[in-house]
Chains A and B, each alone.
Chain A
């Protein structure tokens, strides 16, 4: 079985034992802090905390390698786009211009621009571990319960978790269908030209949609027959009750947010200016 894209990884760690809702709230607090601040000192501090938590979770980089590469590629793209559209952003923000070398027209490389983009990259690195950890250390069964706990309607929460749950099933279907189609001469392996491959994959999509639609009909009937959606509220068998550790983590999270905002806005600017 191939590595699944992004799914729960079973471990015994302090991060795993937290309630899913705690992890979700921490993720939100953490991203808020990282989004609002451009203060390099705060970002660096947050990054250190992120890395420590990641190590504590006992998740190995290799296990989330695929999605990580994907995010990093996106980050690179984002950085290039920022430079192309706004090469003087750093100069505007920090109010000075230390030119490293000139390229053409308004495109030059300044320390200010590099520093600005370094900050953006830092933000990514702060949020990535928090986001990934929420997904890979929260048991899928608890996923919906945690969303529901922070106020998401349980029907929506359940749909999200069902969708996530069916990813492995659909992957399995995809493989079966791909093999069956290959036997009829529809090659999607690497010996085909890219364009042909894309075209050929489309002949797998249709059977995949059919079999998925079947699945949806059966599951929605099964849910209705067991009265899903009858009441405004529902309880969760797998919900983890809040324990002391959860409260400590939540309070620390809130504390970090407040402190990082205080430092950030203390001198009236969201930016830390070393120049």
Chain B
């Protein structure tokens, strides 16, 4: 039996500012060389658990600790954050915020600089580690020039440049598109094998994490450890569902079909899954569900014709983009980072001026309209709510746009209150915004746009960083708006969102529209999936593995069925 390298014993933690314990009597042993995944919904305490491991709790975030935590046999209460960080290297969640150096080399060297390692030695170590993460050609590049995946490799290199025993990843996939996420997991796996470290990953995108083998999955909910078992055992159980965590879609499909998922079917990945005994049940289920008829919408609300745009002379960000959005549609716009999808939303909102082409709103040419004029028809919600909130109180924030338009006070009151009701924020109307959670803040920003009664709503990554519960909440809210007639466009790389909520998806690569089809078609088309850095949905792979004749239709039916199922689930919840 190996020695535990990390051991929590009856460990509890309470933040200084809070009344309740965030972590409650945690008992957990992690052994040398293991690869552990910790999952849990937002607010479950999983981030706090990570902060306990790297020393941010209690050194940066103060509070009361009970019980003990030992790392490599040392009780952490006797150590300082510097000693702990020598043993536990942390790769933080936000890939942009955590860079300290300006160039790749400097950032990797940061920890060495702090240890006062001589310059020559430092240069040698930085070169070595940059080879390990495959960045040796980028070493002098500025960090801003890198892609999301490369950024993550830099932050990993900055941690492993010194020998650490434990590598801690705090939501490593949060800002990555599905394909990059898969590469990231493979890289973590490779580094672990080469450096023989213990790896702890905090994440809620379980299906993506499981693209590589892990030893155990710990489920945390409401500050307690709910389960601690192998991936196969966990996926066969119903623990994930009861903690409001997303099961891998193929597992969910098996369960819907009434298959009894057992650990020896190896459900941990679609490749290892033994499907033989489920084949019949799956096709029975397929036959029993109805095919979905998509009604064609045909009343154009927004038309882009032959749009060209460039930020810098000669580098085309958008090329000959032509597309039509119909009234009442819900459409997702997908593409890899830098493909031009955010630019597209900026152009529709009038934030940037196009070089050539024209934009029509209900047949009327709005190409020359200002941001302000367009904002009465087209509302844009930014990804980061902190970029929008400018008042202390929720009511004032939502009223702001109307006040600026000189709407009479009584009407403002009426419209703001109506909007707050629609957004489920009426009860909070006299609250300060700072008291809200991230998801609620996001809803405030949506409300502040909605109050202007635009007929088209464009949202940039509406669900980024949200767990399943908040994700469902936001998306159900948007669906409800959509059913009231608001046309919704979403920029996203969340495949679940595409599949579950948007019947139509537009894929953009290199400033061009490369596909405009149903989400199920796009996520099953290998060449488009590759160009947009998405992944083929595991449902499609399941259907193929089960030998279905029409795998795309299988995907479509699953989504419809799942939507119904989740609506009931939400009602009961």
Contacts and interface: CB of A to CB of B under 8 A. Distances in A.
Interface of A: 140-141, 162, 165, 173, 176-177, 179-187, 203-204, 206-207, 210-211, 214-215, 218-231, 233-239, 241
9 contacts: A140-B102, A183-B349, A215-B97, A220-B60, A221-B56, A224-B85, A225-B54, A225-B90, A234-B113
B401 A237 contact: no
Given A230-B115, A235-B122, A141 B102 contact: yes
B92 A218 contact: yes
B81 interface: yes
A222 B387 contact: no
Contacts of B375: 182-185
A141 B346 CA distance: 33
B117 interface: yes
B97 A207 contact: no
Interface stretch (B104-112, B291-299, B319-327): B104-112
Interface string B113-142: 111111100110010000000000000000
A255 to B, nearest CB: 30
Contacts of A182: 371-372, 375
Given A219-B98, A221-B92, A227-B111, A203 B401 contact: no
Given A183-B349, A207-B386, A207-B389, A228 B114 contact: yes
Given A218-B92, A227-B111, A230-B114, A180 B380 contact: yes
Nearest to A8: B102
B114 A229 contact: yes
Interface of B: 54-56, 59-60, 81-82, 85-86, 90, 92, 94, 97-103, 105-106, 109-119, 122-123, 126, 158-159, 346, 349-351, 371-372, 374-375, 379-380, 382, 384, 386-391, 400-401, 404-405, 448-449, 452
B488 to A, nearest CB: 17
A206 B374 CA distance: 24
Contact of B110 (A183, A184, A218, A226): A226
B115 A237 contact: no
Contacts of B81: 224-225
A179 B90 CA distance: 36
Contacts of B379: 183
Nearest to B158: A226
Nearest to B452: A184
B97 A218 contact: yes
Contacts of A219: 97-98, 100
B387 A207 contact: yes
B390 A185 contact: no
Nearest to B122: A237
A179 to B, nearest CB: 5
Contacts of A228: 100, 110, 114
Given A140-B102, A180-B388, A221-B60, 14 more contacts: A165-B102, A173-B387, A176-B382, A179-B349, A183-B351, A185-B400, A214-B386, A218-B92, A218-B97, A224-B60, A225-B55, A225-B81, A226-B85, A227-B111
B401 A185 contact: yes
A162 B401 CA distance: 35
A203 B403 CA distance: 13
